[in-house]
Amino acid sequence: MYVRDTIAAIATPLGNGGIGIVRVSGPQAEQIGQVVFTGPGIVGGGGFESHRLFYGRLRHPADGRQLDEGMAVLMRAPRSYTREDVLELHCHGGYYLIRTVLEACIAAGARLAEPGEFTRRAFLNGRIDLVQAESVMDLIASRAERSLQLAHAQREGHLSRAFFAMKEPLLEALALVEAHVDFPEDEVDPTVFAVVEQQIALVLSRVEQLLSSFSTGRVLRDGVSALLLGRPNVGKSSLLNALSGTDRAIVSDLPGTTRDLIEETISLDGLPVKVIDAAGIRSHHTDCIEEEGVRRALDKVAEADLVLLLLDGTTEQHDELPALTAGLGAVPYLLVVTKADLPQRINLSLLTAPLGVCHVSSRNRAGIDHLSRLIYDYFVQTNRLSSDESAVISSVRHRDILLRVLQSLHDFTDSAAQGLPPELLALDLRAALSALGEITGETSTDDLLDVIFSSFCIGK
Amino acid sequence: MHSYETTYEVIVVGAGHAGCEAALAAARMGCRTLLLNMSLDGMAVMSCNPSIGGLAKGHLVREIDALGGEMAKNIDATGIQFRVLNTRKGPAVRAGRAQADKQLYRLRMKRILEQQANLHVKQGEVTALYLEGDELRGVDTRSGIRFLGRTVVLTTGTFMRGLIHIGLINYSGGRAGDLPSVGLSDQLKGLGFEVGRLKTGTPARLDGRTIDFSRLEAQYSDDPPVPFSFSTERITMPQVPCYIAYTNPRTHEIIRSGLDRSPLYAGVIEGIGPRYCPSIEDKVVRFPDKERHQTFIEPEGLDTVEYYPSGMSTSLPIDIQIAFYRSMAGLEQVEIMRPAYGIEYDYVNPVQLHATLETKLIANLFHAGQINGTSGYEEAAGQGILAGINAALKVLGRQPIMLGRHESYIGVMVDDLVTLGTKEPYRMFTSRAEYRLLLREDNADIRLREIGYRVGLVDEATYAGFCHKRQQIQEELGRVRATRLSLDDDQRQWCSRYGCSDLQKGTSFEHLLRRPEIGYEQLQEIDPQVVGLNAAVREQVEIQVKYQGYIERQLEQIERMRKQEEARIPADMEYRAIPGLTSEVREKLERFRPDTLGQAARIQGVTPAAVAILAVVLKGKGEQCSEP
Ligand SMILES: Cc1cc2nc3c(=O)[nH]c(=O)nc-3n(C[C@H](O)[C@H](O)[C@H](O)COP(=O)(O)OP(=O)(O)OC[C@H]3O[C@@H](n4cnc5c(N)ncnc54)[C@H](O)[C@@H]3O)c2cc1C
């Protein structure tokens, strides 16, 4: 909390379009700047000059790969927002890119900031006053609540299960080591160390596997995706604009990999959702517009995490519906009835969808918030996020944690190979557990003693 | 009630291991002190095992010594077997353990107490605190004397409403052969203290004349025995062995056959017993696959035939006890001199304490030892000295001391108690200390002497000796950093002898010492200066050099937490007025009323977000120490 380490976070709201800023604050800020940023003005000119914007290249410290061209500015303490050394890295605004830059800073030694931590530091260092601080408190509270909800939602999920699954063998390993330390006269068999090492090797491979799934994961790269499906003029483009409009701006408009499709990544409460508009789907044969369009759109369905099935509320006939829903197969969909601002002629009895029905008007924005909420809830609360082992919202945090676990376990393996005594091995195991604890909850001494006393007959 | 003529500054109730340290500390700090005990023949009694020390407990003993306490000196003077445990592991988890001659231990402590200036030792059972309004004024005793005092330290051990169990037979007692303390805990409850019930037990005492020691494996003392106290030069007591015996499947069968008459299994005992100190019936039930359990048969003294079979505590009925002890190899003919028993007693929830061990409910009242839910002589003594010091400081109008988790096991223990409370008897383990590598037996003086001196417990001569040692350590550290390998022929040979021919000219001796294969032992062959070094200095330098990386890592963590630990929360903090706290967190904070932000953070259920909010509020109130 008063930790004087160096923190990093994305400073621009997600979906701010053109430019993204990663902010780093703390004693290592300059050093991190040197690692992730190279520019002619810096290399030749002997480092960062305070409060001056430098142009250069951002790169990842792990493999030296270049990420983007960008700008960097270092604001030396106390003339900065937090009154600590603050580094800002400006890059292009794509969600994936910003996050990679953030990851680079973490790899270079920063810690992912907690919600509101910059402001908190600013306050604690006397930069802002109590009135401002009170709003900070609310901020911290509401953010914390949200992340708590999120944590809750993810608890059942695949990813957190993976974390919990790692905690158990780690705790057992630690218990074995600790029992060996604290009960030298009880009959704790020293050969247990072979077991410990095996267990750690197992966890290690699991961590590595998870990490590799992170870096290759489609979801990490692109966010989750929702496909807009419906016949032409049903209002797909307007809906896309409405969804991404005003408070939810476009994050990036990557040109679609398939020329037919238009994609935009929007941010729903911090959750990046790639919305794919099948508007480009046309057939030149007017007589079979529907058929051909539907067929080609359905090809894309398999790639989507969620389908928004659009129906025009002003028309009565919806012959396309059975074909569409049949084609969707197992892919979950929301029914969206468009043009709610106009007189509705649609037969409501037709409309049942397992995930719900939503009436919207892209013109007066009626129902748009509700739809956003439905989409968000679908991804967050049904644990869809976790289902392919790479949650989106906190993935940087997860990755950060996994990297720390990995480091500690490597330390452990090295120490064990050198034949270091158990109290030093315990240090590494504790570090790994405490990193995991950010997801699984802290491991208390009592938890540890529980494992020790239930595994060994100990005590006089 | 007859009011006694003297008004004391510190009254200590109970002369167990906590009470003795508390009384000595207060008296040595110059306070007019009274020590009351149920019986003057029963002071500093070792109720259970005849030994002091062990992992984490030995650490506590050394800390008590560094602060200026008596326990280490007392065991050094009366110990009859000394061993250092974990010699094959690193220095942080090495610990001394000594068998005591129980009677000598108690008698020496009694003599020290009797000779202490400012200290009155009197027999008397305290039945109530004497309060005027909310203000503590003294204590009332069963014999009708009221002693007036400005502060009171309660160290009642296992005595409050003590209930002894042997099989399904039970009777009141504070310890086998002693009366219970009745009345006091009811009054405490009435005053708002949360009084709970805990349970512990002790094995039978066996007649050594009926044990066939030739069939048991003997375990001898280290030679030379290593003392506990930094002031003890040499152990002069004769050293005797312990013996190792084992249970067998038949023993287990006998034990199982008596379970229906075990008060624990029959549900007669309501108190919670310690998991780490299970009775033999517990072990047999919980680990049915284990074919034998080990026991150390420990002498209770030089002048007695009584032996203590460790790990064999039980509350099974006497016929079962006799049968199962006799089923063990070497014990076939054994006679039981004192039966094993379990005991239930009242304790007071330690979350109602400040980290000074003063209660949050009643000013000037301190609790120390088993009354706080701990178990063990060393745990009791560690709290005793802290409570004694703080009671005295209060009388003297000085700031209390609080020991941090980063500087002592005493600090870890007290912090655990006041922030987490305890549901089972709390015992110290090294795994409870997150800064374990820093909290070593060997550096207890470096960690705590200064504090002991500052409060007035460590005398000038001892302190001067300590300062000298500390300075020598600094000098030697400087010297090994500055001295470098010249790699002349001698040194070249030396390097190849110890498998470090890769070393280059100019390598510092500090660097050499960091290698696992090199210690002062080896270094002295090429470094004539080593011979003149004091052994304790050598040890410190070697440890500090070898573990520097780890030590620095832990120091860094401490530095990070420092602000949080130092941020004090005012006693009248209005948690209800703070926006953003969930009701669960608010309730926790109201109940525990933590003294510092660090304590708040360790209370279970208080989230990091809540701690952040608190920090902001504290800063806003300007209650916090200034920012860098
Ligand atoms: C049966 C038994 C088994 C135990 N087993 C273990 C074990 O396995 N491991 C372990 O670590 N520890 C064990 N202990 C605990 C160990 O003895 C205590 O933890 C330690 O002695 C506590 O020290 P203390 O100073 O708090 O209290 P005690 O040593 O119990 O001393 C309390 C003193 O206070 C006096 N006193 C109490 N009430 C009053 C009063 N109202 N007025 C005046 N004087 C009073 C008593 O006479 C006594 O001298 C056991 C204790 C018992 C009795």
Chain A residues touching residue B274 (CB < 8 angstroms): 459
Indicate which residue's Cα is closest to atom 9 of ligand 1.
Answer: B376
pLDDT of residue B398: 97
Distance in Å, CA B65 to ligand 1 centroid: 21
* Mean pLDDT, residues B141-145: 96
* Mean pLDDT, residues B30-57: 96
Contact B331, B160 (CB under 8 A): no
**B437 interface with A at CB cutoff 8 Å:** yes
**What whole-number distance in Å separates Cα of residue B112 and Cα of residue B110?**
5
Compute the nearest-CA separation of A421 from chain B (Å): 5
Indicate which residue's Cα is closest to atom 41 of ligand 1.
Answer: B126
Ligand 1 atom closest to the Cα of residue B155 is 26
Query: What is the CATH topology of the domain spanning B567-624?
Result: DNA polymerase; domain 1 (1.10.150)
Q: CATH for A142-213+392-441? A: 1.20.120.430
Q: CATH for A7-129? A: 3.30.1360.120
Task: Check pLDDT > 90 for residue A248.
Answer: no
Q: What percent of chain A has pLDDT over 90?
A: 11
What chain A residue is nearest to B290 in terms of C-alpha separation?
Answer: A457
Residues 309-338 of B with CB under 8 A from A: 310-311
Residues B364-390: pLDDT tens digits?
999 999 999 999 999 999 999 999 999
Residues B577-603: pLDDT tens digits?
887 777 888 888 988 899 999 899 888
Contact A401, A299 (CB under 8 A): no
pLDDT band at B74 (very low <50, low <70, confident <90, very high): very high
CB-CB under 8 Å, A453 with B276: yes
**What whole-number distance in Å separates Cα of residue B424 and Cα of residue A417?**
38
CB-CB under 8 Å, B85 with A184: yes
Distance in Å, CA B371 to ligand 1 centroid: 9
* Mean pLDDT, residues B553-577: 85
Distances (CA, A) of A438 to A7, A153, A402, B419, B544: 16, 15, 11, 21, 32
pLDDT of residue B623: 40
Which range has the worst mean pLDDT, A168-182, B20-34, B138-152, B166-180? Answer: A168-182
ipTM reported for the complex, 2 dp:
0.84
CB-CB under 8 Å, B617 with A182: no
User: Is the CATH number 3.50.50.60 carried by domain B2-199+345-455?
Assistant: yes
Task: Check pLDDT > 60 for residue B194.
Answer: yes
| B157 Cβ inside 6 Å of ligand 1 | yes
pLDDT of residue B64: 98
**What whole-number distance in Å separates Cα of residue B614 and Cα of residue A207?**
35
Looking at per-residue confidence, does B565 or B469 come out higher? B469
As beta bridge partners, residue B365 has B152
Looking at per-residue confidence, does B301 or A60 come out higher? B301
Q: Which CATH architecture has domain B473-551?
A: Orthogonal Bundle (1.10)
Distance in Å, CA B53 to ligand 1 centroid: 16
Query: What is the CATH topology of the domain spanning B205-342?
Result: Elongation Factor Tu (Ef-tu); domain 3 (2.40.30)
pLDDT of residue B50: 96
**What whole-number distance in Å separates Cα of residue A134 and Cα of residue B616?**
8
pLDDT of residue A13: 59
Contact A232, A282 (CB under 8 A): yes
Distance in Å, CA B47 to ligand 1 centroid: 6
**A460 interface with B at CB cutoff 8 Å:** yes
pLDDT of residue A395: 53
pLDDT of residue B106: 98
Residues A172-194: pLDDT tens digits?
899 888 888 888 776 566 667 78
Compute the nearest-CA separation of B122 from chain A (Å): 34
Q: CATH says A228-383 is which class?
A: alpha beta
CB neighbourhood size of A92 (10 A):
17
**A130 interface with B at CB cutoff 8 Å:** yes
Residues A350-398: pLDDT tens digits?
666 677 788 898 888 888 888 887 887 776 544 333 333 233 334 556 7
Indicate which residue's Cα is closest to atom 47 of ligand 1.
Answer: B38
Looking at per-residue confidence, does B93 or A247 come out higher? B93
Contact B16, B369 (CB under 8 A): yes
pLDDT of residue A274: 77
Contact B50, B137 (CB under 8 A): no
**What whole-number distance in Å separates Cα of residue B420 and Cα of residue B125?**
31
Mean pLDDT, chain A, rounded, equals 73
* Mean pLDDT, residues A436-443: 72
Residues 315-354 of A with CB under 8 A from B: none
Q: Quick one: B570 exposed, middle or buried, by C-beta within 10 A (0-12, 13-18, 19+)?
A: exposed
Which range has the worst mean pLDDT, A274-288, B112-126, B458-472? Answer: A274-288
**What whole-number distance in Å separates Cα of residue A324 and Cα of residue A307?**
11
Residues A9-57: pLDDT tens digits?
887 755 445 678 899 999 999 999 999 998 877 765 568 888 888 888 9
Substitution target from B94, B251, B276 for chain A, most A beta carbons within 10 A: B276
**φ/ψ of residue A22, rounded to 5:** -105, 130
Distance in Å, CA B61 to ligand 1 centroid: 17
* Mean pLDDT, residues B197-208: 95
| B200 Cβ inside 6 Å of ligand 1 | yes
Q: Which of B48, B126, B312 to mutate to test the pocket of ligand 1 (most atoms within 8 A of CB)?
A: B48
**A3 interface with B at CB cutoff 8 Å:** yes
What are the boundaries of each domain within chain A? 7-129, 142-213+392-441, 228-383
Mean pLDDT, chain B, rounded, equals 93
Which range has the worst mean pLDDT, A58-72, B153-167, B176-190? Answer: A58-72
Compute the nearest-CA separation of A375 from chain B (Å): 28
Task: Check pLDDT > 80 for residue A455.
Answer: no
Distance in Å, CA B66 to ligand 1 centroid: 24
Query: Smallest Cβ distance to B431: which of A134, A144, A445?
Result: A445
Task: Check pLDDT > 90 for residue B143.
Answer: yes
| B537 Cβ inside 6 Å of ligand 1 | no
What are the boundaries of each domain within chain B? 2-199+345-455, 205-342, 473-551, 567-624
Residues A53-112: pLDDT tens digits?
888 899 988 888 888 888 899 999 888 888 899 999 998 866 667 778 888 998 898 988
Which range has the worst mean pLDDT, A169-183, A309-323, B525-539? Answer: A309-323
Task: Check pLDDT > 70 for residue A122.
Answer: yes
pLDDT of residue A245: 63
pLDDT of residue B553: 86
pLDDT band at B517 (very low <50, low <70, confident <90, very high): confident
| B598 Cβ inside 6 Å of ligand 1 | no
**What whole-number distance in Å separates Cα of residue B589 and Cα of residue B575?**
7
Residues 387-416 of B with CB under 8 A from A: 416
Distance in Å, CA B45 to ligand 1 centroid: 8
